[in-house]
Structure 1
Amino acid sequence: MSFESLGLSPALLKALTDQHFTIPTPIQLAAIPAILNKKDVLGIAKTGSGKTAAYVLPLLINLQENLTAKNRHVNVLVLVPTRELAEQVKEVFKSFSHALPHPVKTLAVYGGASINPQMMALQGVNVLVATPGRLLELVESNAVHLSSIETLVLDEADKMLNLGFKEEVDKIIALLPKKRHNILLSATLSNDLRNIHQILLHDPVIIQIDAEEESLDLIKQVAYLVSAEKKGPYLRYLIEHHDMKQVLIFASSIHQVDALVNKLRKNNIDAKAIHSKMSQGSRTESLADFKSGKLRVLVATDLMARGIDISYLPFVINYELPRSPKDYVHRIGRTGRADASGEAISLLTPKELHHFGVIQKKMGKTVDLIDIER
């Protein structure tokens, strides 16, 4: 099927063509008609499957019917877990809304940035993309009112609930009109998500795209068994030996991310960090440099991975394993996208072997393990 068959306007179809969108993804095929019909939707699909456009496109059309909300009374609220995702969603709205006959004003608000410019920018906003904590601050300051919300979107709802945003999300939901359009999107269907969707959604269209296993087929996985003291030197050897021009490295803590970046730089390997303790400007700069290819190595925590969406990323390295097998799949899924192959490398100490066995069992795949001491 094509985008033309989904009921989108000629203006949006032209914008899709201009941006080289050709064939809708499975989540887009299922979600766009349902959202156009103002059905509640629960969409489960992996990151990188086109979930953002799946709700942005139909919501822009629905918004054309009513853009007369009072000032500081937004029409659409999109809740997201991270600043990076907030900016990413905002840009998708902006990239398509310019083609419409009636402009749609979109704003992203989040902590870690000055609140005053955000308060001033809320004048005339139709779509507000927000992290929960900053949104509540703006509500308490009377900078924005939620009583006119027509559509609520929870994007990356699984991660939002896992990260402990539930109490803030509950407060926000209590401020919204009871009659509204609801959309929940997630990479996984957890028990927390089942509970919240039963509360939020009315007779929802449930869309579950099972594609994790397929996506892993494009990823070459290998693990190296290495002592703790040799991890750093071997990481640097791999980067140089494979002549890696663009590699995303995951570490388990902010402290370890910073330590890795410092060590790589001392060994003349161009690297930057991205984590929640950095200023928004620094995070944006690191991500932009990495996406554009100016930066060779980006070292990240799991939380920051939600804003890293690169079509042709050749290498991902797990310097340390994540606690959750799902997070492992999410990490390595940063590569092997858009039908391009990629390589995922894990550096394991003997203490991590048992946990890696659990990850492989959950993933349903066996990864070659090479003992570099032999």
Structure 2
Amino acid sequence: MSLDKLKLNKQLVTAMTEAGFLAPKEMQLKVVSRIIGGQDVIAIGPEGSGKTTTYILGILMRLKYAHEEAPRALVLVPDADRIEAVTDQFALLNKSSLRVVGFSPLAGIQSQMDVLADGCDIVVTTPDRARALYMKLGLNLNLIQTFILDDADLMIKNGYQLPVSELARSIVKCQHLIFTEVLHGKLEQLIEPFMNLPATIEITELKEPDVAIIPQILYKVLNFKTKLNLLNLLMRDDDYFNKVIVFVNTRLTAQKLFKSLDKRLHDQVALYKPMFFDQPGLKSVDEFRESDARIFIIANEDVEKVDLSEIPFILNFDQPEEKEVYISRIIKNEGNAETLAIAFATDIELSLITKIEQATGQLMEEVELPLGLIIENNPDKEKVAQKKAKKEKAVDEQRGAAFHEKKAENAKTYNYSSKEKAKMKYKKK
């Protein structure tokens, strides 16, 4: 399929060809025309599906030429490395006079304000730096036509919800483009207030499996406390879960899990390299196989490769940052043919799940949460609401002490209008 399907101008077709893009990807075929048409878009696709090139082509087709001092497109990315990658891609495809600038949050802000004062068309930066520039009156948002969130799922993970929502509210009217590997509840909550009838395009690209892997199931959970409740609920079934290795990312998390499980399953839980001498610990998986312990908690920071043969259940309480660590544990061999891999994932971990699925070429089977699971609400929000309620109650009580009903003889009002005063005056005469 040729690039003609994208209906690009000659400059962009030449730039794409010179850059080695000879055929459009599915993401570009479905999204570029919508961007050019000015529609709000939520584009969901794995790494390598062409998301960045898609919005760059759309922006370059919409803006075409430089003719304003204030920027007309704002691209928000999650970190400094991504700024460089996006600006390099713009430089590769931009053959017009459009001025593209990238502002790192690690650089001095004054020099960036000077660049903005000189004029530009497209700004690429992180949400916190964009907000800082806007608050210092360096970034003019009045002429923004297109507002882009790239790697939007990582915005949530990095805690950029507040600057993103503030910037979106500060732009009166524009096109909004959201590019993400996964769309989850927290991201939907962030973008819903400013999106205008968006088209949602999802691309799923799975390669052919090159290695056999053990069966996997996925539990999607709200937060850490719900994860912990789910683990406790599952581990009550000691007949089914007779030997389980639980992987977490840090020793601190391992400690929390041990304390929670040990309350109900005393003498059935062991730690790999425990933090305290009085806690039951095992030196290896081999020792766990021979022990009476039923649950063995291992922190990823302590160990990379382990022999998981003859362990019936591998439970990933946390998802490791490197997908290779997870994949190495699910490759099928003679010793784990009967093993089941279980993964717990919160919203911010779903992008890691997507990367694993893309790398293995197989989707995890999502399982419904079991009956009886206590789903914890967001404790931070509850605390804020409780504090606010207490504060309002205290204010009301103070007002009650200072303000009271007037006595009957003092209850007269003298706030008469001029018309009423005139009537009263002439009536007396």
Shorter-normalised TM range? 0.5 to 0.7
Aligned to 1:25: 25
Aligned to 2:67: 68
Q: After superposition, what is the alpha-carbon deviation per residue over 1:260-283, rounded to whole angstroms, capped at 9, x for unaligned?
A: 9xxxxxxxxxxxxxxxxxxxxxxx
How far the C-alpha of 1:60 sits from its partner, in A, is 0.5
Q: Is contact 1:8-1:58 (8 Å) kept?
A: no
How far the C-alpha of 1:217 sits from its partner, in A, is 2.8
Letter aligned with residue 180 of structure 1? C
Q: Is contact 1:31-1:43 (8 Å) kept?
A: yes
Aligned with residue 217 of structure 1, among 194, 202, 209? 209
> How many residues in Structure 1 have an aligned counterpart in Structure 2?
266
User: SS at 2:24's partner residue?
Assistant: coil
Q: For the residues of structure 2 that align with 1:219 and 1:9, how far apart are their CA atoms?
A: 43
Q: For the residues of structure 1 that align with 2:272 and 2:110, how far apart are their CA atoms?
A: 46
Letter aligned with residue 86 of structure 2? V
Letter aligned with residue 121 of structure 2? N
How far the C-alpha of 1:84 sits from its partner, in A, is 1.5
Aligned to 1:172: 167
Q: With structure 1 as the length reference, what TM-score do the two structures score?
A: 0.60
Aligned to 1:111: 105
Gaps of 5+ in 2: 217-244, 248-270, 274-283, 286-298, 304-319, 330-342, 368-429
In the alignment, is residue 56 of structure 1 matched against residue 56 of structure 2? yes
Q: For the residues of structure 1 that align with 2:102 and 2:114, how far apart are their CA atoms?
A: 13
Q: After superposition, what is the alpha-carbon deviation per residue over 1:307-344, rounded to whole angstroms, capped at 9, x for unaligned?
A: xxxxxxxx9335999955624434547857xxxx9xxx
Mapping for residues 296-307 of structure 1, pairs under 5 Å: 302=321
How far the C-alpha of 1:208 sits from its partner, in A, is 1.3
Mapping for residues 1-374 of structure 1, pairs under 5 Å: 1-64=1-64, 67-70=66-69, 73-97=70-94, 100=95, 102-122=96-116, 123-176=118-171, 178-211=172-205, 214-215=206-207, 217-218=209-210, 228=272, 302=321, 316-318=324-326, 324=346, 326-332=350-356, 361-362=365-366
Q: Is contact 2:77-2:124 (8 Å) kept?
A: yes
Q: For the residues of structure 1 that align with 2:357 and 2:142, how far apart are their CA atoms?
A: 39
Q: For the residues of structure 2 that align with 1:328 and 1:322, how far apart are their CA atoms?
A: 11
Aligned to 2:257: none
Q: After superposition, what is the alpha-carbon deviation per residue over 1:137-179, rounded to whole angstroms, capped at 9, x for unaligned?
A: 1122222211111110111122212432111111111221x22
How far the C-alpha of 1:27 sits from its partner, in A, is 0.8
Distance 1:217 1:111, change over 3 A: same
Distance 1:120 1:37, change over 3 A: same
Q: For the residues of structure 2 that align with 1:187 and 1:219, how far apart are their CA atoms?
A: 24
User: SS at 2:207's partner residue?
Assistant: helix
User: SS at 2:124's partner residue?
Assistant: strand
User: SS at 1:153's partner residue?
Assistant: strand
Distance 1:167 1:51, change over 3 A: same
Q: With structure 2 as the length reference, what TM-score do the two structures score?
A: 0.53
How far the C-alpha of 1:89 sits from its partner, in A, is 1.2
Aligned to 1:292: none
Gaps of 5+ in 1: 235-251, 261-300, 306-314, 342-358, 364-374
How far the C-alpha of 1:54 sits from its partner, in A, is 0.8
User: SS at 2:17's partner residue?
Assistant: helix
Q: Is contact 1:74-1:149 (8 Å) kept?
A: yes
Whose radius of gyration is greater, 1 or 2?
2
Q: For the residues of structure 2 that align with 1:56 and 1:140, how far apart are their CA atoms?
A: 27
User: SS at 1:316's partner residue?
Assistant: helix
Of 192-201 and 152-161, the range deviating more from structure 2: 192-201
Distance 1:68 1:331, change over 3 A: same
Q: After superposition, what is the alpha-carbon deviation per residue over 1:168-198, rounded to whole angstroms, capped at 9, x for unaligned?
A: 111111221x221111111112123333443
User: SS at 1:185's partner residue?
Assistant: strand
Q: After superposition, what is the alpha-carbon deviation per residue over 1:68-101, rounded to whole angstroms, capped at 9, x for unaligned?
A: 222xx2110011111122221111111111xx3x
Q: For the residues of structure 2 that align with 1:333 and 1:116, how far apart are their CA atoms?
A: 44
- Superposition RMSD on alpha carbons, in Å? 3.9
Q: Is contact 2:73-2:146 (8 Å) kept?
A: yes
Q: Is contact 1:215-1:333 (8 Å) kept?
A: no
Q: For the residues of structure 2 that align with 1:80 and 1:219, how far apart are their CA atoms?
A: 34
How far the C-alpha of 1:24 sits from its partner, in A, is 1.3
Tell me the percent identity: 23
How far the C-alpha of 1:218 sits from its partner, in A, is 4.8
